[in-house]
Amino acid sequence: MSQPAARVARSRPRRPQMVMEVVAIEDLSPTFKRITFGGDDFDKFQDSEAVDKYVKLLLPQNPESGLKPPFDLDELRKTLPKDELPLRRTYTVHSVDPETKTLKMDFVIHGAEGLAGPWAEQAKVGDLLQFSGPGGKYQPDPEADWHLLAGDEAAIPAIGAALAAMPDDAVGHALIEVATEEDEWNLTAPEGIEVTWLHRGGPFTPESTVIEQAVKDLPWRDGRVQAFVHGEREIMKSLRVYLNDERGVDRADLSLSAYWAYGREEDVFQAEKKLPIGQIYPETGLQY
Ligand SMILES: Cc1cc2nc3c(=O)[nH]c(=O)nc-3n(C[C@H](O)[C@H](O)[C@H](O)COP(=O)(O)OP(=O)(O)OC[C@H]3O[C@@H](n4cnc5c(N)ncnc54)[C@H](O)[C@@H]3O)c2cc1C
């Protein structure tokens, strides 16, 4: 007898859980911290060819609660009320170094609100972070005629990893939105990829963001484009329509998803994926 779909979905193997230790912290810019993690659990990290690999961090809702990794969420659910359980946040693993058994994540410091941004802002060498993963599936296609990469701060780690993985003869454009010039740093990219930093002039607001218009203003090249476009949800909705419907970019050549939503904690943002407001591809209900 065949199993009901819900049971099949639940029985999918869980991604490995790791607890790793902060071994180095670097300020990349006023709004970006690069944190290097090490420790024995590195061996549990199943690296992949994807350059947009991401993990799910597990962070205490209340940093004053004294809860520290390792967490056993199944056990904690038996004893703690829902509003005291650790919460998930999604972050890109920017790079993995098997030699030193370390991996790096880059955190946007976006103010006092939230869990992961403030955790990163206050992180110290020796702190522990629990996460599971990685997921992710984008890889630069060496057969594409040109590449388009675009996103705001949250997507820079993935865009940076994608640029670093491109073949030397890759051509195209990377458009990256940040607050000000001080938030720019060097990204390794093939010579043929023009990297343009766009400045909002301050923190993200729906009024000050410029990335959507910059993508639409980009002179369109001939040939097959492979596009990697991620960032704030409303912008992604609009760029999805532009790239898919107006420019005719094939779905198979388009990696486009919302990485966050203005005014929403990640839990709300994730929950809204089931609602029309959260859907990037409303005709199918898909998110990417
Ligand atoms: C696949 C994937 C990969 C990602 N990779 C990265 C990464 O490598 N680095 C990274 O920094 N982020 C990344 N993000 C985005 C990150 O998951 C969200 O920004 C997340 O909401 C941050 O959690 P938080 O606890 O700091 O804030 P939350 O508690 O989720 O939100 C608190 C408030 O801060 C606002 N906020 C959240 N993120 C931002 C932001 N970036 N800029 C301005 N305001 C914000 C929210 O709208 C909300 O009002 C990724 C997301 C996805 C889906």
> Could you give the percent of the chain with pLDDT greater than 90?
82
- The contacts found for 116-119 with CB under 8 angstroms, 24 or more apart, are 116/57, 116/59, 116/89, 116/91, 116/266, 118/63, 119/59, 119/63
The pLDDT mean for the chain works out to 92
Pocket of ligand 1 contains residue 260 by CB under 6 Å: yes
Buried-state track 242-264, b at ≥16 Cβ within 10 A, e below 16: ebbeebebeeebbbbbbbbbeeb
* Domains identified in the chain and CATH numbers: 5-134 (2.40.30.10), 146-278 (3.40.50.80)
> What's the pLDDT tens digit per position in 101-120?
999 999 999 988 999 999 99
The rounded Å distance from CA 221 to ligand 1 centre is 32
- Counting ligand 1 atoms within 8 A of each CB, the residue from 36, 110, 208, 260 with the most, and so the one to mutate, is 260
> Which residue's CA is the nearest one to ligand 1's atom 7?
91
The total of other beta-carbon atoms located within 10 Å of residue 61's CB is 15
Q: Which two three-digit tokens encode residue 10?
A: 């639940």
* Gyration radius of the chain's alpha carbons: 19
pLDDT of residue 283: 65
How far apart are the C-alpha atoms of 152 and 198, rounded to whole Å? 9
Pocket of ligand 1 contains residue 50 by CB under 6 Å: no
Ligand 1 atom with the shortest distance to the CA of 107: 11
Residue 65 has pLDDT above 90, yes or no: no
pTM (whole model) above 0.75: yes
Say if CB 192 and CB 184 are below 8 A apart. Answer: no
Q: Which run of H or E residues covers position 121?
A: helix 116-122
